[in-house]
């Protein structure tokens, strides 16, 4: 009935032809670059990166915390876009990257009773562990498992989560000689690792349950597929980068992405209204451990008025990523752009020769 809380558990398992340590670099680089790409697209979400700083997670320990705001009216499916005012289509994403654990929470302004959490764990070689997220027996009964193959899995038709046209079946890394990946590549590829991503969707709306559920899970699957294709096909861009170089890339892209957001006429003053409870993480780490539940929540998003909420009766949506780099810490120039451009030219020449 209308008061029942609906919780959906879907675990996605994604094998990748790299080590867990390499995946860490690849994931950070892909997030930085693709967030910039998303912000640059005419139909993309407008992105503001409000926080990117060291943190202490109460369960996973030291890591990096990010808080992003996506103005994503254009990313909504047509049936939902017609019902949602543009200024209410604001997604907040807070993420604790305590690799190999990552915990991300997504909330949407227009649906205060909806929350999507994504728990990620990454393991070398282990591509089919039964319960890496340590779910209870009751949760295991409701959880479904889906495998994503970066070669053979297909995107949904007209998906707004598609980030590019990268094709692992045609890419060969010049730095590592990995690829192209062919059918059943998982059985004969070394190194190999697996990303286990558990999506937990909670929504207290009645009437559009199945439609909302299909949209959330379909979007997350498409996003995972597209982003992991990019991680592999961008290997020659991120392979060998140090963590200092990655952080510099994130810093520069954060500044540029935010500048682009400020120039956008559609953003208004939303960002200034975000409750940044995580803003002073460095000074609040002791308090975080003592009050885990408080530190793990974003402030309650602004509600739509009751009449609008009752009218729509429920749904939700999506997520994010980010950009690229040019300098090393300390001001030393590290002409990564030129190097990457040269690598792309070599890659294109290789594909033409092949």
| pLDDT, position 46 | 79
CA atoms within 13 A on the CB side of 349: 7
Name which residue leads in pLDDT, 78 or 171: 171
| pLDDT, position 322 | 37
Q: What is the mean pLDDT of residues 260-272?
A: 55
Q: How much of the chain, in percent, has pLDDT values that exceed 90?
A: 44
What is the C-alpha to C-alpha distance for residues 172 and 177, in angstroms, rounded to an integer? 6
| pLDDT, position 336 | 47
Contact partners, residue 17, CB within 8 Å, separation at least 6: 178, 179, 181, 185, 189, 191, 192, 232
Question: How would you classify the pairing of strands 6-16 and 144-148?
Answer: parallel
Residue 298: which of 85, 127, 50 has the closest Cα? 50
- Work out the pLDDT band at 73, boundaries 50, 70, 90: confident
| pLDDT, position 254 | 83
How many other CB atoms sit within 10 Å of the CB of residue 314?
20
What is the C-alpha to C-alpha distance for residues 328 and 247, in angstroms, rounded to an integer? 9
| pLDDT, position 195 | 98
- Work out the pLDDT band at 35, boundaries 50, 70, 90: confident
| pLDDT, position 350 | 42
pTM as predicted: 0.74
Q: How much of the chain, in percent, has pLDDT values that exceed 70?
A: 68
| pLDDT, position 261 | 75
CA atoms within 13 A on the CB side of 263: 8
Contact partners, residue 5, CB within 8 Å, separation at least 6: 202, 203, 204
Please determine, for residue 269, whether its predicted confidence score (pLDDT) is greater than 90: no
Helices 20-40, 243-263: inter-axial angle, 10-degree rounding? 20
Q: What is the mean pLDDT of residues 185-209?
A: 87
Quote the DSSP letter at residue 162.
-
Q: Residue 353 CA to chain centroid, in angstroms?
A: 35
Helices 20-40, 209-233: inter-axial angle, 10-degree rounding? 110
Q: What is the mean pLDDT of residues 119-146?
A: 95
| Residue whose structure tokens are 């752009």 | 337
Q: What is the mean pLDDT of residues 51-73?
A: 92
Where b means 16+ CB within 10 Å and e means fewer, 29-45 reads bbbbbbbbbbbeeeebb
Please determine, for residue 58, whether its predicted confidence score (pLDDT) is greater than 80: yes
Please determine, for residue 62, whether its predicted confidence score (pLDDT) is greater than 80: yes
Q: What is the mean pLDDT of residues 92-102?
A: 96
Q: What is the mean pLDDT of residues 113-142?
A: 93
Helix (H, G, I), strand (E, B) or coil at 350: helix
Please determine, for residue 280, whether its predicted confidence score (pLDDT) is greater than 80: no
Instruction: Name the average pLDDT for the chain.
Output: 76
Residue 227: which of 166, 184, 316 has the closest Cα? 166
């Amino acid at each position: 009935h209308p008061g029942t809380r609906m919780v959906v558990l879907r675990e996605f398992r994604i094998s990748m032809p790299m080590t867990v340590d390499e995946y860490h670099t690849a994931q950070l680089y892909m997030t930085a670059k693709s967030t910039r790409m998303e912000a640059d697209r005419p139909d993309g979400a407008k992105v503001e990166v409000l926080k990117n700083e060291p943190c202490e997670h109460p369960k996973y320990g030291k890591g990096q915390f990010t808080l992003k705001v996506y103005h994503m009216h254009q990313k909504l499916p047509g049936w939902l876009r017609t019902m949602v005012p543009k200024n209410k289509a604001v997604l907040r994403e807070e993420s604790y990257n305590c690799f190999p654990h990552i915990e991300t929470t997504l909330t949407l302004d227009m649906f205060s009773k909806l929350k999507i959490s994504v728990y990620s764990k990454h393991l070398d070689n282990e591509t089919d562990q039964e319960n890496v997220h340590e779910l209870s027996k009751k949760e295991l009964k409701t959880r479904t498992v889906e495998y994503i193959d970066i070669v053979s899995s297909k995107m949904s038709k007209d998906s707004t989560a598609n980030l590019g046209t990268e094709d692992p079946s045609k890419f060969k890394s010049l730095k590592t000689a990995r690829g192209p990946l062919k059918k059943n590549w998982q059985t004969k590829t070394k190194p190999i690792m697996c990303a286990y991503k558990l999506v937990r969707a909670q929504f207290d709306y009645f009437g559009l349950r199945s439609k909302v559920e299909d949209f959330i899970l379909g979007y997350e699957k498409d996003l995972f597929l597209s982003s992991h294709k990019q991680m592999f096909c961008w290997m020659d861009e991120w392979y060998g980068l140090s963590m200092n170089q990655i952080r510099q890339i994130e810093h520069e892209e954060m500044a540029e992405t935010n500048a682009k957001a400020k120039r956008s006429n559609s953003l208004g003053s939303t960002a200034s209204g975000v409750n940044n409870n995580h803003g002073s993480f460095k000074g609040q780490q002791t308090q975080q451990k003592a009050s885990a539940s408080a530190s793990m929540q974003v402030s309650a998003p602004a509600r739509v008025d009751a009449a609008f909420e009752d009218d729509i009766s429920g749904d939700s949506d999506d997520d994010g990523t980010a950009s690229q780099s040019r300098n090393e810490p300390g001001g030393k120039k590290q002409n990564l752009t030129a190097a990457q451009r040269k690598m792309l030219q070599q890659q294109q020449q290789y594909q033409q020769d092949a």
